[in-house]
Structure 1
């Protein structure tokens, strides 16, 4: 049995980036920074200065490629394998982090993650989610490593657009609903029961203070609620799959997210926003009452999550598009974690039902 609960070390504080070298110096004297264009602009000056102060040379600053794809991973491995690099540093969101987790695994290098948004738990898991270069979901890559160190600068997270935190709340809510479903197929153990307990606490935390955390970013204030939600999204949620392993993985909500990525118009909607809608569709497949769904949608309205296809830019699907959505979604690995067999028609019916219920509550909610 092998259990990787999360990153080896996790630090979160306001202004933490200015002291990055203090923590990274333990991994060697040469480093490469990999991330998105914006994220590298945000961190590179302060990071380079702090590394230099501790005798570390930042030899490269590289764009990860825009998608967590095989071709981008291969390109970065080829570019860095002959270099004298002691430690890889990744900055950005989930796709950047997932890309470099796979690169670090292949190169067998220490990995430091500096998330610039709190939108996923990518920094705390030992898997990478792979996409095509066009953004369509491909699969789950287990030849990836959890970061040796995660550094979260609260001020950087606070200054990011609030939609990223909202998306993080959506993605993290799924831990509760998907774990409840996927664990039904497993024999109870100390590990998976611990994962269930953590998932329940994650859910309660977000219900209680999610709105306050969003308000904190809108007001540009670092509050305890914001700090707690950041830790919940980035770190604590990752420990659910860490403890639970394949017993407590993603399920219907993420499968429906992956299926919806076949529509180019949804690519302007963030991962966690689509997953939030996927939760509603999963609950429809599980025959959850309309009243329960409406209660959850009321929370979505409070924090700003989408709950209809229209809010995600998807409108007027043809019969062939609906058919394709159903057929592709049931092939996604996540769907196999549901405690019953799911057919394409069940997916179509669930997505339509969730959309219909959402539309009854749409008045006054923004279209993204």
Structure 2
């Protein structure tokens, strides 16, 4: 039995960035920062100061490239393979973190993750999601490193646009709906049963505290609910995959997300927002009662998640586009985790059904 449960250490507190050097110095005395342009603008000044206070030199600050693509990973590896430094620091959202996780794997360097938004569990997982240079999903990459250290400054999350936290809630909701589905194919054991228990608790935390956490950012107030949701999205969500391994994987919700990325108009919709719609389609695919789907949509309405294709900028699809969506979606490896065989026609039917239920509810809001 082998599992990678999560990062070596996880620290979350207000103002943590000013103490970053205290934690990072255990990994070396020279560092390279890689991240998004906005993320580096937000953290580089205080990070550089904290590193300096603890005898660490920040040798370079690099843009990750904008997409978690093999092109950008290769470019970073080429840039850094002959450089002399001790530790990589990744900053930003999921795509930035995943890109640096892959680069760290090939460069064999210790990795520190500083998520600047709470939108995915990328900081706590040993995989990276690979996209084309244009943003179309390609595959799940296994040549990726789980960070030795994750540093979360609550002030940074609080100052980020609330839409990122909402997307994180959507992505984390999928842990419950997909895990309880994919585990049906596995033989029960202590580890995968722990994963499903964590997923169930995650769901309860999201339902209990999600709306208040979103309000906390709107009101710019740090609350226990916001702290709980941040930890749930960034850390605890990743541990479900860590404990569950191949028994508790993403399923139809993420496959439908990946399929929908073939449409360029959806690229301005965040990962967790599309996954949230994918959950609704998965529930329809499983034959879930319409009232249960509507109850989940009620929660989406409270926190601000999309529940129709129109809300994700997909106004209409031609018959050929529907066919392409169905055919591509069933080839995504996530779909193989469903406990029954899924056909392109089933994808089309479930997406249409979810969209109709959501559109009917949109009309009465």
Matched with 1:109 is 109
Deviation at 1:363, TM superposition (A): 3.4
| Distance of 1:126 and 1:189 partners within structure 2 | 22
Q: TM-score scaled by structure 1?
A: 0.99
Matched with 2:257 is 257
| Distance of 1:319 and 1:27 partners within structure 2 | 55
| Aligned 1:286-305 pairs, distance under 5 A | 286-305=286-305
| Distance of 1:44 and 1:245 partners within structure 2 | 35
SS, match of residue 85 in structure 2: coil
Deviation at 1:364, TM superposition (A): 6.7
Deviation at 1:124, TM superposition (A): 0.4
Matched with 2:137 is 137
| Aligned 1:94-105 pairs, distance under 5 A | 94-105=94-105
| Distance of 1:54 and 1:241 partners within structure 2 | 35
| Distance of 1:85 and 1:220 partners within structure 2 | 38
Matched with 2:197 is 197
Coordinate RMSD, CA, aligned: 0.6
Number of equivalent positions: 365
| Distance of 2:201 and 2:133 partners within structure 1 | 36
Matched with 1:48 is 48
Matched with 2:351 is 351
SS, match of residue 129 in structure 1: strand
| Distance of 2:219 and 2:363 partners within structure 1 | 25
| Distance of 1:200 and 1:28 partners within structure 2 | 39
| Aligned 1:285-364 pairs, distance under 5 A | 285-363=285-363
Q: TM-score scaled by structure 2?
A: 0.99
Matched with 2:90 is 90
| Aligned 1:160-171 pairs, distance under 5 A | 160-171=160-171
Unaligned runs of 5+ in 1: none
**Cα deviation code 1:14-41 (max 9, x no counterpart):** 0000010000000111100000000000
SS, match of residue 184 in structure 2: helix
1:180 corresponds to 2:169: no
Matched with 2:241 is 241
| Distance of 1:317 and 1:289 partners within structure 2 | 26
